[in-house]
Amino acid sequence: MIRHRRLLKHLARRAGYEIRQYTPLRSFAAAREELLGRVDVVLDVGANAGQYGELLRADGFGGRLISLEPVQSAYEALQAKAAADPGWTAHRLAASDAEGDLVLNVTADTRSTSALARNERFGDQAGWSPGGTETAPARRLETLVPELLRSGERAYLKLDVQGFEDRVLEGAGGALGRFEALELELSVLPLYDGQARLVDLLPFLAERGFHPVSMEPILLDDRGRLMELDGLFVRDA
Protein backbone atom coordinates (compact mmCIF):
# COMPACT_ATOMS: atom_id res chain seq x y z
CA MET A 1 0.00 0.00 0.00
CA ILE A 2 2.81 2.46 0.92
CA ARG A 3 4.62 1.63 -2.33
CA HIS A 4 1.45 2.29 -4.32
CA ARG A 5 0.94 5.66 -2.60
CA ARG A 6 4.51 6.66 -3.39
CA LEU A 7 4.07 5.67 -7.03
CA LEU A 8 0.84 7.65 -7.27
CA LYS A 9 2.51 10.72 -5.77
CA HIS A 10 5.45 10.36 -8.15
CA LEU A 11 3.18 10.13 -11.20
CA ALA A 12 1.14 13.12 -10.02
CA ARG A 13 4.25 15.26 -9.60
CA ARG A 14 5.47 14.36 -13.07
CA ALA A 15 2.10 15.58 -14.36
CA GLY A 16 2.44 18.85 -12.42
CA TYR A 17 0.29 18.01 -9.39
CA GLU A 18 0.95 17.11 -5.78
CA ILE A 19 -1.12 14.70 -3.69
CA ARG A 20 -1.07 15.21 0.07
CA GLN A 21 -3.05 13.83 2.96
CA TYR A 22 -5.98 16.13 3.67
CA THR A 23 -5.68 17.52 7.20
CA PRO A 24 -8.24 20.30 7.84
CA LEU A 25 -6.15 22.03 10.50
CA ARG A 26 -3.25 22.31 8.04
CA SER A 27 -5.27 23.17 4.93
CA PHE A 28 -5.45 26.78 3.74
CA ALA A 29 -8.51 26.00 1.62
CA ALA A 30 -10.29 24.36 4.56
CA ALA A 31 -9.49 27.31 6.83
CA ARG A 32 -10.85 29.75 4.27
CA GLU A 33 -14.00 27.67 3.79
CA GLU A 34 -14.57 27.63 7.55
CA LEU A 35 -14.14 31.40 7.84
CA LEU A 36 -16.41 32.09 4.87
CA GLY A 37 -19.06 29.99 6.53
CA ARG A 38 -19.24 32.60 9.29
CA VAL A 39 -19.89 35.63 7.07
CA ASP A 40 -22.61 37.16 4.89
CA VAL A 41 -20.55 39.30 2.54
CA VAL A 42 -17.06 39.35 1.01
CA LEU A 43 -15.35 42.61 0.04
CA ASP A 44 -12.80 41.73 -2.64
CA VAL A 45 -10.31 44.61 -3.06
CA GLY A 46 -8.16 44.31 -6.17
CA ALA A 47 -10.56 41.87 -7.80
CA ASN A 48 -8.97 42.01 -11.27
CA ALA A 49 -11.31 40.16 -13.68
CA GLY A 50 -13.29 38.47 -10.90
CA GLN A 51 -11.25 35.28 -10.53
CA TYR A 52 -11.64 35.21 -6.74
CA GLY A 53 -15.39 35.77 -6.93
CA GLU A 54 -15.69 32.89 -9.38
CA LEU A 55 -13.67 30.70 -7.00
CA LEU A 56 -15.98 31.53 -4.10
CA ARG A 57 -19.09 30.77 -6.11
CA ALA A 58 -17.60 27.48 -7.31
CA ASP A 59 -16.86 26.60 -3.67
CA GLY A 60 -20.48 27.25 -2.72
CA PHE A 61 -20.36 30.72 -1.13
CA GLY A 62 -23.84 32.15 -1.55
CA GLY A 63 -23.49 35.49 0.24
CA ARG A 64 -22.99 38.92 -1.25
CA LEU A 65 -19.83 39.72 -3.22
CA ILE A 66 -18.55 43.29 -3.53
CA SER A 67 -15.57 43.70 -5.84
CA LEU A 68 -13.30 46.71 -6.31
CA GLU A 69 -10.97 46.91 -9.31
CA PRO A 70 -9.21 50.07 -10.58
CA VAL A 71 -7.76 48.92 -13.94
CA GLN A 72 -10.26 49.70 -16.67
CA SER A 73 -9.76 46.60 -18.84
CA ALA A 74 -9.88 44.24 -15.86
CA TYR A 75 -12.90 46.06 -14.46
CA GLU A 76 -14.83 45.57 -17.70
CA ALA A 77 -14.29 41.80 -17.51
CA LEU A 78 -15.23 41.86 -13.80
CA GLN A 79 -18.38 43.87 -14.44
CA ALA A 80 -19.55 41.39 -17.09
CA LYS A 81 -19.34 38.55 -14.55
CA ALA A 82 -20.97 40.53 -11.76
CA ALA A 83 -23.84 41.57 -14.03
CA ALA A 84 -24.79 37.90 -14.44
CA ASP A 85 -24.92 37.32 -10.66
CA PRO A 86 -27.61 39.17 -8.66
CA GLY A 87 -25.55 38.84 -5.48
CA TRP A 88 -22.40 40.40 -6.94
CA THR A 89 -21.63 44.10 -7.40
CA ALA A 90 -18.51 45.65 -8.94
CA HIS A 91 -17.01 49.14 -8.61
CA ARG A 92 -14.15 50.70 -10.54
CA LEU A 93 -12.23 51.86 -7.49
CA ALA A 94 -8.86 51.51 -5.81
CA ALA A 95 -8.53 51.36 -2.04
CA SER A 96 -5.86 53.60 -0.56
CA ASP A 97 -4.87 55.66 2.48
CA ALA A 98 -6.12 58.83 0.79
CA GLU A 99 -9.13 59.83 -1.29
CA GLY A 100 -8.73 61.17 -4.80
CA ASP A 101 -6.98 59.84 -7.88
CA LEU A 102 -4.36 57.10 -7.80
CA VAL A 103 -1.78 56.51 -10.54
CA LEU A 104 -1.26 52.84 -11.37
CA ASN A 105 1.72 51.18 -13.03
CA VAL A 106 -0.16 48.95 -15.45
CA THR A 107 1.40 45.68 -16.63
CA ALA A 108 0.48 43.47 -19.57
CA ASP A 109 -0.75 40.91 -17.05
CA THR A 110 -3.02 43.26 -15.15
CA ARG A 111 -2.90 41.04 -12.05
CA SER A 112 0.53 42.51 -11.22
CA THR A 113 -0.50 46.15 -11.73
CA SER A 114 0.35 48.27 -8.68
CA ALA A 115 0.34 51.80 -7.39
CA LEU A 116 3.98 51.10 -6.48
CA ALA A 117 6.87 50.74 -8.90
CA ARG A 118 8.12 47.19 -9.35
CA ASN A 119 11.71 46.55 -8.25
CA GLU A 120 14.24 44.39 -10.09
CA ARG A 121 12.88 41.08 -8.78
CA PHE A 122 11.02 39.21 -11.52
CA GLY A 123 11.41 42.25 -13.78
CA ASP A 124 11.99 39.95 -16.74
CA GLN A 125 8.89 37.85 -16.06
CA ALA A 126 6.56 37.83 -19.07
CA GLY A 127 3.69 40.24 -18.55
CA TRP A 128 5.10 41.74 -15.33
CA SER A 129 7.09 44.68 -16.66
CA PRO A 130 5.33 48.09 -16.57
CA GLY A 131 3.64 49.06 -19.81
CA GLY A 132 2.32 52.51 -18.93
CA THR A 133 0.22 54.27 -16.33
CA GLU A 134 -3.49 54.68 -15.70
CA THR A 135 -5.35 56.88 -13.24
CA ALA A 136 -8.24 55.53 -11.18
CA PRO A 137 -10.45 56.92 -8.41
CA ALA A 138 -9.36 55.90 -4.91
CA ARG A 139 -11.24 55.72 -1.61
CA ARG A 140 -10.33 55.04 1.99
CA LEU A 141 -12.09 51.94 3.27
CA GLU A 142 -12.88 53.93 6.41
CA THR A 143 -15.37 56.04 4.43
CA LEU A 144 -16.30 53.44 1.81
CA VAL A 145 -17.15 50.46 4.01
CA PRO A 146 -20.15 52.14 5.72
CA GLU A 147 -21.57 52.76 2.23
CA LEU A 148 -21.06 49.17 1.06
CA LEU A 149 -21.90 47.04 4.10
CA ARG A 150 -25.37 46.69 5.53
CA SER A 151 -26.12 46.97 9.21
CA GLY A 152 -25.50 43.70 11.02
CA GLU A 153 -23.72 41.99 8.13
CA ARG A 154 -20.78 39.79 9.02
CA ALA A 155 -18.01 40.62 6.56
CA TYR A 156 -14.78 39.16 5.16
CA LEU A 157 -12.06 41.33 3.58
CA LYS A 158 -9.83 40.03 0.80
CA LEU A 159 -6.91 42.14 -0.47
CA ASP A 160 -4.93 41.56 -3.66
CA VAL A 161 -3.28 44.93 -4.10
CA GLN A 162 0.28 44.15 -5.16
CA GLY A 163 2.40 45.63 -2.39
CA PHE A 164 -0.11 48.31 -1.38
CA GLU A 165 -1.48 46.33 1.57
CA ASP A 166 -0.26 48.65 4.32
CA ARG A 167 -1.77 51.73 2.62
CA VAL A 168 -5.12 50.00 2.20
CA LEU A 169 -5.12 48.83 5.81
CA GLU A 170 -4.10 52.26 7.08
CA GLY A 171 -6.95 53.73 5.06
CA ALA A 172 -9.39 51.31 6.66
CA GLY A 173 -9.00 52.93 10.07
CA GLY A 174 -11.73 51.86 12.46
CA ALA A 175 -13.70 50.21 9.65
CA LEU A 176 -11.26 47.29 9.83
CA GLY A 177 -13.20 46.22 12.90
CA ARG A 178 -16.24 45.53 10.69
CA PHE A 179 -14.54 42.43 9.30
CA GLU A 180 -14.61 39.00 10.91
CA ALA A 181 -11.67 37.77 8.84
CA LEU A 182 -9.02 38.99 6.45
CA GLU A 183 -7.18 37.38 3.52
CA LEU A 184 -4.16 39.03 1.92
CA GLU A 185 -0.77 38.49 0.29
CA LEU A 186 2.29 38.79 2.52
CA SER A 187 5.75 39.39 1.04
CA VAL A 188 8.85 37.94 2.66
CA LEU A 189 11.00 39.91 0.20
CA PRO A 190 9.47 42.97 -1.47
CA LEU A 191 8.57 42.95 -5.15
CA TYR A 192 7.68 46.65 -5.25
CA ASP A 193 9.51 49.77 -4.10
CA GLY A 194 8.29 50.82 -0.66
CA GLN A 195 6.30 47.64 -0.07
CA ALA A 196 5.57 46.54 3.49
CA ARG A 197 6.80 43.03 4.26
CA LEU A 198 5.50 40.12 6.30
CA VAL A 199 7.50 41.29 9.34
CA ASP A 200 5.81 44.70 9.10
CA LEU A 201 2.24 43.53 8.58
CA LEU A 202 2.09 40.85 11.28
CA PRO A 203 2.47 43.28 14.20
CA PHE A 204 0.26 45.84 12.44
CA LEU A 205 -2.56 43.31 12.22
CA ALA A 206 -1.96 41.99 15.74
CA GLU A 207 -2.36 45.50 17.14
CA ARG A 208 -5.76 45.63 15.45
CA GLY A 209 -6.90 42.30 16.84
CA PHE A 210 -6.26 39.99 13.87
CA HIS A 211 -4.72 36.59 14.60
CA PRO A 212 -3.17 34.39 11.85
CA VAL A 213 -5.08 31.20 11.04
CA SER A 214 -3.29 29.81 8.00
CA MET A 215 -0.54 30.72 5.53
CA GLU A 216 0.34 29.17 2.20
CA PRO A 217 3.38 29.77 -0.07
CA ILE A 218 2.43 31.26 -3.44
CA LEU A 219 5.69 32.52 -4.97
CA LEU A 220 9.31 31.39 -4.87
CA ASP A 221 12.28 32.75 -6.80
CA ASP A 222 14.45 30.68 -9.14
CA ARG A 223 16.70 29.74 -6.21
CA GLY A 224 13.83 28.35 -4.20
CA ARG A 225 13.61 31.26 -1.74
CA LEU A 226 10.14 32.01 -0.45
CA MET A 227 8.91 35.39 -1.74
CA GLU A 228 5.19 35.55 -0.99
CA LEU A 229 2.52 33.88 1.11
CA ASP A 230 -1.24 34.00 1.19
CA GLY A 231 -2.39 34.71 4.73
CA LEU A 232 -5.69 34.19 6.54
CA PHE A 233 -6.45 36.11 9.72
CA VAL A 234 -9.41 36.08 12.08
CA ARG A 235 -10.40 38.99 14.31
CA ASP A 236 -10.30 38.20 17.99
CA ALA A 237 -13.72 38.32 19.64
Neighbouring CB atoms inside 10 A of 219's CB total 17
DSSP result, 102-164? EEEEEESSGGG-BSSPB-STTTTSTTTSEEEEEEEEEE-HHHHHHHHSPTT--EEEEE--TT-
What does the longest C-alpha to C-alpha distance in the chain come to?
62
Neighbours of 149 (CB within 10 A): 19
Nearest to 82 by CA among 120, 112, 42: 42
Half-sphere exposure of 186 (CA within 13 A, CB side): 21
What domains does the chain contain, in order, with CATH numbers? 24-235 (3.40.50.150)
From first to last of its 237 residues, the chain has per-residue pLDDT tens of 556 566 665 566 666 666 565 566 678 999 999 999 999 999 999 999 999 999 999 999 999 999 999 999 999 999 999 999 999 999 999 999 999 999 999 988 898 899 998 877 766 666 777 778 999 999 999 999 999 999 999 999 999 999 999 999 999 999 999 999 999 999 999 989 999 999 999 999 999 999 999 999 999 888 888 999 999 999 987
Whole-number Å distance between alpha carbons of 29 and 46: 20
Look at residue 5 in the predicted model and tell me its pLDDT. Answer: 60
Distance separating alpha carbons of residues 141 and 178, to the nearest angstrom: 11
Q: What confidence tens digit (pLDDT) does each residue in 42-91 have?
A: 999 999 999 999 999 999 999 999 999 999 999 999 999 999 999 999 99
Q: Are 85 and 61 in contact (CB under 8 A)?
A: no
Judging by beta carbons within 10 Å of its beta carbon (0-12, 13-18, 19+), is residue 222 exposed, middle or buried? exposed
Q: What is the pTM of this model?
A: 0.89
Angle between helices 165-172 and 141-148 (to 10 degrees): 70
